A and B are shown apart, each in its own frame.
Chain A
Amino acid sequence: MFDLVEAFHRPSSIREALRLLHAGGRRARIVAGGTDVVVRADPEIRSLVDITRLGLTYIKRSGGAWAIGATTTMAQIEHSAALRALAGGILVEAAKGCGSVQLRNMATLGGNLANASPAADTAAPLLVLDAQVVVAGERSRRTLALADFFLKPGETALGKALLVEILIPAPPRGARTAWSFQKLGRTESDISVVNAAAGLQVDGKGVCKWCRIALGAVAPVPLRARAAEALVTGRKLDGSLVEQAAAEAAREASPITDIRATAEYRREMCRVLVKRALAECAARAGCSL
């Protein structure tokens, strides 16, 4: 499958990796977990640049914020006790759903995002967490919001740069803050037919002070359901509001039909999963709907 590959590079620094990528041009490809590069088997590839030896495998905490290296595997996220305590463990939940044990030992967080699949499981929880991505170019580094990172299926704002780190700012905390991750697949270990994540914070009267809703596999890119968020924010959470927000999120979706589901079903499931996510958040935040 890769008989035409002429070089396999194992750089030990980001600078060297970028140089090799640059030198290889269109025919060079980054490889980390391999779970996308190998499956796609692009016959154009002539050189591979392995980025797993750049020191980008880490989960660090500074204050309330988190930094996760791009080559951290799904398994490392899944088994991180600290991340399990972050935001109700929604990122851990999502990582656990990324294929089999073997795949999770290989697949990296950076790869899951840089691959820009609309169905990427970790994208929705990271959007809910207002995550940012750090990208390194040959001369500079920049940080951009994850929401601005995805451009269309398979395409990101990376350009020639390398995704090196995922930053999660300190999320809202407290007893009245709650989180939920919902996924619908055809089987237990499947690419999402639809996924949704939500986070919210309520005050003592049950009024929503802060809300995030994100969706996967219902639009060309993982999506914040901003209209639904706006609908919920500032209002008292109840069953009717949850229903309305779920319907609003479904309207924001622009799903397609593929072998996993029809567009109509996806839109409907978007409503159901957002409803379930918000209801679960409400219950966890101590609101009775």
Chain B
Amino acid sequence: MSGDRAVVGQNLRKVDGVKLVTGRPAFTDDIHLPGMLIGKILPSPHAHARIKRIDTGKARALPGVHAVLTYKDVPRVPHTTAGQAWPEPSPYDTYLLDNKVRFVGDRVAAVAAETRAIAEKALRLIEVEYEVLPAVLEIEQAMASGVAVIHDEPDSTKIFDREHNIAGYILREIGNVEEGFRASDLIFEREFRTGRQQHCPLEPHVAIAWLDADQRLVIRTSTQVPYHARRQVAMILQIPVSRVHVIKPRIGGGFGGKQEMLLEDITGALALATKRPVKIEFTREEEFYMARSRHPQILRMKMGVKRDGTIVASQLTVLATTGAYGSHSTTVQGNTGSKVLPLYRAEHMRFECHVVYTNTPVAGAFRGYGCPQGFFAQETLVDEIAEELGRDPVEFRRQNMIRLGDIDKLSAQLGEGKEGLPRHIRSCGLPECLDRAAAAVDWDGKRNAAGGPAHLKRGVGMAATMQGSGIAGVDWASAFLKMNEDGSFFLQVGAADVGAGADTVLAQIAAETLGVSLDKVVITSGDTDITPFDVGAYASSTTIISGGAVRKAAEKVRAHVLDMAAKMLDAPVDKLECGDNQVYTICECRKAVSMAELAMHAMYKEKTQIMDGASHFNTDSPPPFCVTFAEVEVDTETGKVRVLHLVTAVDPGTAINPMQAEGQVEGAVAQGLGYALIEELLLDGQGRPRNASFLDYKIFSAKDMPRLTTILVETDEPLGPFGAKSISEVPINGPAPAIANAIYHAVGIRLRKLPIRPEDVLRELREKLPTL
């Protein structure tokens, strides 16, 4: 299928690569505007408090200070910071500035001043008298009667049960799990806990806002969701959408953390107040606790099986915290059920989840979006069941897993904050993923051989996972193409390349469709004045949804090109083909016209701009599949787990750019590895962050990484452009359970809490073998 494709399926260089390797100014902060002020946000020192009095007099009087804003100075508009399609399924529980603070790091006030030092000094001069309220820090505490109510303000909406701090609640069932458990021969039930991982994009959140010559508010920002940010900023600042222009330049990594309108509103408010350009850039410390993180969860997973290995019923009960605000609260947690349970074809499934508020840093979207937690529980439990049944974990999964032609009915019940749509499995590379990954790690050989020096024990483990490709019936995108005199095309998309390579992939899809080389497609993305709408970079949607729009737009433009060529070559359209930067006849006459000649003819003879656009959405979300195999070495004296080899086999549909696809896998695996072993934002007893720096919150470096093997198992997905599904999220799910299962294989202990710290390993080992 790829043999006759010139651009799609090829390992082409990133279209934005040269400017990145030469360090040209391409990121949000790589500009300097005359008169630009520096904005800073005063973070709350308390986890939960009411502002009784706030006096900004001294701060305003400081020379060099141009604005100090508190809740008294700005409109009060309940909203969510979640960058989701309207109407957002997240609670409207957030305010530009409020008279109450709900976590350490919550906004108290904002300042714009001539320098960073003056801005910082001004923050210290703001006098705030707090009425400190009891804080709810523990996830299990949140729903108890008598604890503080975090969102007692009357104007917030869409909160499930504010009296009990419940932001959202989900209960869905297919079949009848109780009946399923009665029909099972064996029942397994375990509790799991997962930590608060932070995105750690190398570029912290940053936004620059100014008024252009027409006094429109321009916001240049590090975002994954330029269009949502525009709509939300307009609503919050109470100005028309047409008065806001959002520009997404190159982005230094997002991973979900920038699917959030986090600085645009306050930076915009300061620009409006000062009539000067204003920049707010999070420091690394601020990024850790004032931005977003992954939802910590407590998961109770229960499965019933027959002796023959058939999984009859699976039930997942989750208690999660969204922190102080409900951004992405029900949607992330909904995924924990809807994308996890259906991997196995149990007749009965039940998912129940409470998402509670706590006075802790706010959780949000993060690569995997609820699945890493769910799969950690499910894949660890499934490993335990296979062990109990005396079955090989690979074969046990093979017996039960979802397959081509299946319809996942849980997804029909559990959509993005509402009823969803059933998922039809139209492509599935899972069996081949299992085969090839098992071979790559030498599964059969290593399962039967454990060992090593006295205190170093080796083992192998695996996990199977899936995700989605866009949100069915919600995500949509559009694209516009126009032809230039030299036979090149401008491609305009609202899609937001955040570093994952969307611009390249989308340009490849256009080039392939139009029969031109990649250099003939010049892409502009993520500028709300120039490019048409796109929901943005999230939910593994860009390749399939934005790519679908590009494919449609390019097909329309191709039709215009062929019409023009038909006139020029005096040949019927059905005898014409595009390729090699020209249009040629496929009859014996062998006539051809170059794209450049055709463009000149269209523009200056026919007086026609060849151009067209298209919108696209899907009513289904085809899952990419993934299996992860890990080989580990456990130091039984220190409890340290060293991962020796991680093999990841992924079915992404067609890989539009295989080299980039591999890069997505490797990056996801690295984050999944950190989630498994070291990464967790820790809070003290007052809700203050304890490790908000790279010195203290470590991420893995090149030296820490194990050997990685990436296998792309390509399938042909009917709903995707050129058969593509998605790839960037699914590989993050597997490392934690695969490593936990490998540790069990090595030393016989089950770790059910993430991250798996050496101290925990050592404790479990001691409990199992007191003589150690």
A contact set with B: CB distance below 8 Å: 1, 3-4, 39, 100, 184, 186-191, 259-262, 265, 268-269, 272
Name the one of A187, A262, A268 contacting B700, with C-beta atoms under 8 angstroms: A187
Q: Given the complex, which residues of A lie within 8 Å of B704, measured CB to CB?
A: 187-188
Name the one of B116, B638, B682, B703 contacting A259, with C-beta atoms under 8 angstroms: B682
On whether the beta carbons of B678 and A184 are closer than 8 Å, the reply is no
On whether the beta carbons of B638 and A189 are closer than 8 Å, the reply is no
On whether the beta carbons of B117 and A3 are closer than 8 Å, the reply is yes
On whether the beta carbons of A188 and B637 are closer than 8 Å, the reply is no
In angstroms, Cα B759 to Cα A39, docked, is 29
In angstroms, Cα B695 to Cα A191, docked, is 8
Main secondary structure of the interface of B (DSSP, over half): loop
Q: Does B698 contact A (CB under 8 A)?
A: yes
Q: Does B715 contact A (CB under 8 A)?
A: no
Q: Does B201 contact A (CB under 8 A)?
A: no
Q: List 12 A-B contacts (CB under 8 A).
A: A3-B115, A3-B116, A184-B638, A187-B700, A187-B703, A188-B701, A189-B701, A189-B703, A190-B698, A265-B759, A268-B762, A272-B637
Q: Does B691 contact A (CB under 8 A)?
A: yes
Name the one of B678, B691, B696, B759 contacting A262, with C-beta atoms under 8 angstroms: B759
Knowing A189-B701, A272-B637 touch, does A259 contact B762 (C-beta < 8 A)? Answer: no
Distance in angstroms from B455 CB to nearest chain A CB is: 9
Residue in A1, A261, A262, A265 whose Cβ sees the most chain B Cβ within 10 Å: A265
Q: Given the complex, which residues of A lie within 8 Å of B116, measured CB to CB?
A: 3
- Number of B residues, CB within 8 Å of A: 20
Name the one of B117, B691, B701 contacting A187, with C-beta atoms under 8 angstroms: B701
- Beyond contacts A1-B117, A191-B695: 19 other A-B pairs, Cβ-Cβ < 8 A, are A3-B115, A3-B117, A39-B695, A184-B640, A186-B678, A186-B698, A187-B698, A187-B701, A188-B701, A188-B703, A189-B701, A259-B682, A259-B696, A260-B696, A261-B759, A262-B759, A265-B759, A265-B762, A272-B638
Q: Given the complex, which residues of B lie within 8 Å of A259, measured CB to CB?
A: 682, 690-691, 696
Q: Given the complex, which residues of A lie within 8 Å of B701, measured CB to CB?
A: 100, 187-189
Taking CB as reference atom, which chain A residue is nearest B283?
Answer: A1
Q: Given the complex, which residues of B lie within 8 Å of A188, measured CB to CB?
A: 701, 703-704
Taking CB as reference atom, which chain B residue is nearest A2?
Answer: B117
Taking CB as reference atom, which chain B residue is nearest A4?
Answer: B117
Q: Given the complex, which residues of A lie within 8 Å of B698, measured CB to CB?
A: 186-187, 190
Q: Does B758 contact A (CB under 8 A)?
A: yes
Taking CB as reference atom, which chain B residue is nearest A100?
Answer: B701
7 closest A-B pairs by beta carbon, nearest first, are A3-B117, A188-B703, A259-B691, A272-B637, A265-B759, A187-B698, A187-B704
Within 8 A of A (CB), among B687-712: 690-691, 695-696, 698, 700-701, 703-704
Contact with A along B171-193 (1 / 0, CB 8 A): 00000000000000000000000
On whether the beta carbons of A265 and B758 are closer than 8 Å, the reply is yes
Within 8 A of A (CB), among B304-358: none
Distance in angstroms from A95 CB to nearest chain B CB is: 16
Q: Given the complex, which residues of A lie within 8 Å of B678, measured CB to CB?
A: 186-187
Contact with A along B624-642 (1 / 0, CB 8 A): 0000000000000110100
On whether the beta carbons of A269 and B638 are closer than 8 Å, the reply is yes
Q: Given the complex, which residues of A lie within 8 Å of B762, measured CB to CB?
A: 265, 268
Taking CB as reference atom, which chain B residue is nearest A268?
Answer: B762
Distance in angstroms from B671 CB to nearest chain A CB is: 14
Taking CB as reference atom, which chain A residue is nearest B678?
Answer: A186
Q: Given the complex, which residues of B lie within 8 Å of A189, measured CB to CB?
A: 701, 703
In angstroms, Cα B682 to Cα A260, docked, is 11
Taking CB as reference atom, which chain A residue is nearest B117?
Answer: A3
In angstroms, Cα B638 to Cα A184, docked, is 9
Distance in angstroms from A277 CB to nearest chain B CB is: 13
Distance in angstroms from A21 CB to nearest chain B CB is: 25
Q: Given the complex, which residues of A lie within 8 Å of B637, measured CB to CB?
A: 272
Q: Given the complex, which residues of B lie within 8 Å of A190, measured CB to CB?
A: 698
Residue in A187, A260, A268 whose Cβ sees the most chain B Cβ within 10 Å: A187
In angstroms, Cα B699 to Cα A187, docked, is 8
Contact with A along B451-480 (1 / 0, CB 8 A): 000000000000000000000000000000
In angstroms, Cα B216 to Cα A143, docked, is 69
Contact with A along B740-767 (1 / 0, CB 8 A): 0000000000000000001100100000
Q: Given the complex, which residues of B lie within 8 Å of A265, measured CB to CB?
A: 758-759, 762
Distance in angstroms from B288 CB to nearest chain A CB is: 12
Distance in angstroms from B101 CB to nearest chain A CB is: 24
Q: Given the complex, which residues of B lie within 8 Å of A186, measured CB to CB?
A: 678, 698
In angstroms, Cα B637 to Cα A191, docked, is 20
Distance in angstroms from B169 CB to nearest chain A CB is: 34
In angstroms, Cα B698 to Cα A100, docked, is 13
Taking CB as reference atom, which chain B residue is nearest A262?
Answer: B759
Taking CB as reference atom, which chain B residue is nearest A188?
Answer: B703
In angstroms, Cα B762 to Cα A225, docked, is 25
In angstroms, Cα B759 to Cα A3, docked, is 43
In angstroms, Cα B682 to Cα A187, docked, is 17
Q: Given the complex, which residues of B lie within 8 Å of A260, measured CB to CB?
A: 696
Distance in angstroms from A149 CB to nearest chain B CB is: 24
In angstroms, Cα B690 to Cα A1, docked, is 21
In angstroms, Cα B372 to Cα A14, docked, is 58
In angstroms, Cα B757 to Cα A262, docked, is 11
Q: Given the complex, which residues of B lie within 8 Å of A262, measured CB to CB?
A: 759
In angstroms, Cα B762 to Cα A4, docked, is 48
Q: Given the complex, which residues of A lie within 8 Å of B758, measured CB to CB?
A: 265
Taking CB as reference atom, which chain B residue is nearest A264?
Answer: B759
In angstroms, Cα B695 to Cα A164, docked, is 28
Contact with A along B103-122 (1 / 0, CB 8 A): 00000000000011100000
Q: Given the complex, which residues of B lie within 8 Å of A261, measured CB to CB?
A: 759
Taking CB as reference atom, which chain A residue is nearest B701?
Answer: A189
